[in-house]
């Protein structure tokens, strides 16, 4: 029974993702989703008490799961006391691989941007993945400051500034209808430039 229940939950999330991307979050209804799945609204609400919680599940599965993996890897590297530069390079490559080459994740992100001004979807998206990512980077910056690898300051600000540099060269892709995937070598160069620029401004002056 547990296996069938989990399989049903996964089917609901997959169908919801398709519906949200087709018609938008606000226009999507639980009635339409139940019709597509061949069940009832009561069944859907048994798995997800609200459409917002269903959206959060869609975001976690299709848009932020890989970010969570990158965050977990970064935390493990913190435990192993890896130096700041290689940690940022590895983390950056994992993140940009998702942001540039995962088309479903990119589509969900666009959905979030389109609906953020009309509902809590933006906050739901942030809480479902990027917040944990930022928390891990903040912890890395705190450790780097304690080691003297970067100048003293607000580690949260440092984490935000690095993320801004990391995505600076790919932001324009959000406005393209179907941007081509980037090759691993291209991603490495993007990350290398972002890390070098960050360290240029953050490294303590002699």
Single pTM value for the model = 0.79
Which residue reads 């008490």 in tokens? 49
H or E element in which residue 161 lies: helix 155-167
pLDDT value at residue 45: 93
Q: Which two tokens stand for residue 18?
A: 């398709």
Listed residue (181, 206, 27) closest to 104, CA to CA: 181
pLDDT value at residue 4: 57
Which residue reads 């932001």 in tokens? 171
pLDDT digits (tens, 9 = 90+) for 159-206: 999 999 999 999 888 888 888 999 999 999 999 999 999 999 999 877
pLDDT digits (tens, 9 = 90+) for 128-144: 778 888 888 999 999 99
pLDDT digits (tens, 9 = 90+) for 32-88: 999 999 988 998 999 999 988 898 888 888 877 777 778 888 888 877 887 889 999
Residue 95 CA neighbour count, 13 Å, CB half: 26
- For residue 149, CA distances in Å to 71, 88, 113 come to 20, 12, 35
Tell whether the model's pLDDT for residue 1 goes beyond 70: no
pLDDT value at residue 79: 78
H or E element in which residue 150 lies: none
Tell whether the model's pLDDT for residue 7 goes beyond 60: yes
What b/e string do you get for 11-26 counting C-beta neighbours within 10 Å, with b at 16 or more? ebbebbbebbbeeebe
Rounded (5°) CA angle 20-24-30: 55
């Amino acid at each position: 029974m547990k296996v069938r229940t989990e399989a049903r939950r996964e089917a609901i999330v997959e169908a919801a993702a398709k519906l949200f991307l087709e018609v938008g979050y606000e226009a999507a209804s639980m009635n339409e989703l139940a019709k597509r799945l061949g069940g009832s609204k009561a069944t859907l609400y048994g798995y997800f008490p609200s459409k917002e919680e269903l959206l959060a599940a869609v975001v976690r599965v299709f848009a932020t799961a890989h970010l969570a993996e990158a965050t977990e890897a970064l935390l493990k590297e913190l435990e192993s006391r890896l130096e700041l530069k290689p940690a940022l390079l590895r983390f950056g490559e994992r993140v940009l691989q998702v942001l540039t080459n995962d088309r479903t994740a990119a589509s969900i992100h666009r959905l979030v941007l389109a609906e953020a001004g009309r509902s809590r979807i933006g906050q739901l998206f942030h809480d479902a993945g990027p917040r944990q990512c930022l928390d891990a980077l903040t912890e890395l910056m705190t450790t780097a400051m304690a080691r003297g690898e970067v100048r003293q300051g607000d580690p949260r600000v440092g984490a935000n500034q690095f993320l801004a540099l990391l995505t600076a060269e790919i932001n324009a892709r959000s406005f393209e209808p179907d941007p081509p995937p980037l090759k691993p070598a291209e991603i490495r160069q993007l990350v290398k430039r972002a890390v070098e620029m960050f360290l240029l401004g953050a490294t303590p002056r002699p």
